Structure 1
């Protein structure tokens, strides 16, 4: 016998089958979306890991070179008692601190680490402290070269170890005053819950500019420092070039001083390039997609922050006849020791 179902029963059975099929379909779609989301997160993490590794490795290499250079400048008495080497040590020390702080902030931003304003403020203000030291030290180094060429008889009386130390103290005091002013401008933040107040986005110097006054001061300070440094270095170069044409001038010394001042001008330009980093990123973020923006940001960071911080060590270390043999000795010392150990192991095994 055929079993006949009523129309109502058929309708309920059809709805039940349809709902079951729909649930299965949406469940599969949900699992598919979750899988796609997980794969996208994995790809994003792998890309961040790759970029952070590619930036950290050269950073560590440059830190090693800078550390060897700093050790070299403290290895002999002549380096500790000569004004230009003392100023070079101050320059390299500031750039080494900048390199460390830049890499720390970059890694924190790459891994989207959420930070509170006090911690972020401490890191960014420490970076700001050393940012102005490089151009100001280049100014003093340029003036020292100008005095050496234009006033050679008075150079020993003007450029002394004591006067050099005083100039370095003034540089650090001026940079510290800049940090104090920036901290005072943070009074616009709500201090009731400051310890738990989190930074919107990633921690950077731009995120600590909380109002129009902070933005205006940051631009004015950067403009004042780099404009003054540029004028001082160019004026020193013009003075040295004019002195080189005189009959009584030491041609070789004047030519070397001009090349040094040109090098200082290039270094100042590299330091100035760091001030256009955030405006450049803001402009790029409006025209490129997120993935492309992250890759471009990493390349810009490498060429603006990492590479210039090592050029001073390499250029001065390889260019200066007094530093180069000592620097090469310390850089190659480990390689020589490794070679000796390998030879001793081979001879003992034979």
Structure 2
């Protein structure tokens, strides 16, 4: 434990003694891609509420839920990063609120990927029953269950935080910058965090892998639409990649502590910023890239809104083509 604390101290010191110009440069380097990805995600969220076909199709409702959680997580991560770069020391209640909200959205993402993968599995393996199993009502129930499980996780973390003797502190002001690691104030909180992360991602990995191999087996059947099965298989594979990237964010702090022991300050800070963009920022925009580019129904609408409606002739989903596009919704 002392080695871990010393490593975290080294990391903090290296960030703490950066010059103001250097901190401004690195903050700009991380904020720029974050703002770009936030713009894409927000545009995607608006797109998924712009036409009835998106609001009335389960897969797009599930996608909206995933994008919403990822967008909130991305914004909170960048806020916490800028607070640390600005050397602002928060109080425990404020930091606890921000980190618990970030933890909630982190839990929602893998659970949403599981439900979306199961939806693709049903669409390919049980195409005749897909419309009766995957309904808007059942989708709404699934989303409520996802957020209920995430909220239960947060409630448990709050109860563990209440065990910490805050009354014995001279002040509620934190000694270090705000982060999720800094809010693991006791051994039970740390153990619960590790156990919850392992159970969540192992369960999600098993569920998505089951869906993936189920689609592969179904693709060999003569009665299955080969093109639809192939696209669903590729989508599930991308979901596995997303899950791995989200999982990598849980080892971010440990990786930083290991790198701080072998790298110089300047190299370490540069790598830290690259890892932050790759591990925290990019995975939260992957859903928009996957569906925004590959989905033939979303792509023209998304491009239209990304271009700020400067090309009205490209606006899709006109009344004449609405019914035709509904028939393509099971393919990705």
- Say if 2:105 is the partner of 1:130: yes
TM-score w.r.t. the length of structure 2 is 0.86
Partner of 2:49: 74
Q: 1:275 aligns with which of 250, 254, 258?
A: 250
Kept in 2, the 8 Å contact 1:200–1:207? The answer is no
* Conserved 8 A contact 1:83-1:164: yes
- What is the match of residue 230 of structure 2? 255
Q: Tell whether 2:99 aligns with 1:112.
A: no
Does 114-123 or 197-206 show the bigger shift?
A: 197-206
Once the two structures are superposed, what CA deviation does each residue of 1:68-115 show, in whole Å capped at 9, x if it has no partner? 100000000010010100000000000000000000011111121111
Paired residue secondary structure (1:132) = helix
Q: CA offsets per residue over residues 191-237 of structure 1, 9 Å max, x none?
A: 32679322221110000001111111101111111110100011011
The residue that corresponds to 1:141 in the other structure is: 116
Pick from 33, 47, 50: which aligns with 2:22? 47
In the TM superposition, what is the alpha-carbon distance from 1:42 to its structure 2 partner? 10
Q: Indicate whether 1:171 and 2:146 are aligned.
A: yes
Contact 1:118 1:195 in 2 (8 A): no
Residue aligning to 1:199: 174
| CA spacing shift, 1:205–1:53, aligned 2, 3 Å | same
Query: Offset at 1:334?
Result: 5.6
Is 1:234 aligned with 2:234? Answer: no
Q: Which has the higher helix share?
A: 1
- 1:295 aligns with one of 270, 277, 281: 270
**RMSD across aligned C-alpha pairs, in angstroms?**
1.8
The Cα of 1:123 is off from its aligned counterpart by 0.5
Q: Distance in 1 between matches of 2:17 and 2:278?
A: 27
Residue 323 of structure 2 corresponds to none
Distance 2:140 2:171 in 1: 41
Question: Is residue 313 of structure 1 aligned with residue 292 of structure 2?
Answer: no
Hey, what's the Cα distance between the residues in 2 that align with 1:108 and 1:269? Answer: 27
Return the match for 1:212 from 181, 187, 210: 187
Normalised by the size of structure 1, how large is the TM-score?
0.82
Deviation larger for 314-323 or 280-289: 280-289
The answer as to whether partners of 1:273 and 1:304 remain within 8 angstroms in 2 is yes
Please identify the structure whose Cα radius of gyration is greater.
1
Segment of structure 1 superposing worse, 124-133 or 41-50: 41-50
Runs of 5+ unmatched residues, structure 2:
1-15, 313-332
Which of 150, 155, 161 is matched with 1:186 structurally?
Answer: 161
| Larger RCO, structure (CA 8 Å, separation 6 or more) | 2
Q: Does 1:153 align with 2:102?
A: no
Deviation string for 1:166-209 (max 9, x for gaps)?
00000001001111111111123223267932222111000000
Contact 2:71 2:284 in 1 (8 A): yes
Runs of 4+ in 1 over 3 A off after TM superposition: 193-196, 289-292, 334-337
Q: Match for 1:99 among 66, 74, 84?
A: 74
Q: Partners in 1 of 2:17 and 2:289 — Cα distance?
A: 39
Partners of 2:311 and 2:215 lie apart in 1 by 42
Alignment length (residue pairs):
297
Partners of 2:45 and 2:170 in 1: CA distance: 37
DSSP 3-state at the match of 2:118: helix
Which residue matches 1:89?
A: 64
Give the superposition deviation at 1:282.
1.3
Q: Give the Cα–Cα distance (whole angstroms) in 2 for the partners of residues 106 and 218 of structure 1.
A: 21
Structure 1: 5+ residue runs without aligned partners? Answer: 1-40, 338-350
Q: For residues 51 and 115 of structure 1, do their structure 2 counterparts lie closer, same or farther at Cα, with a shift above 3 Å needed? A: same
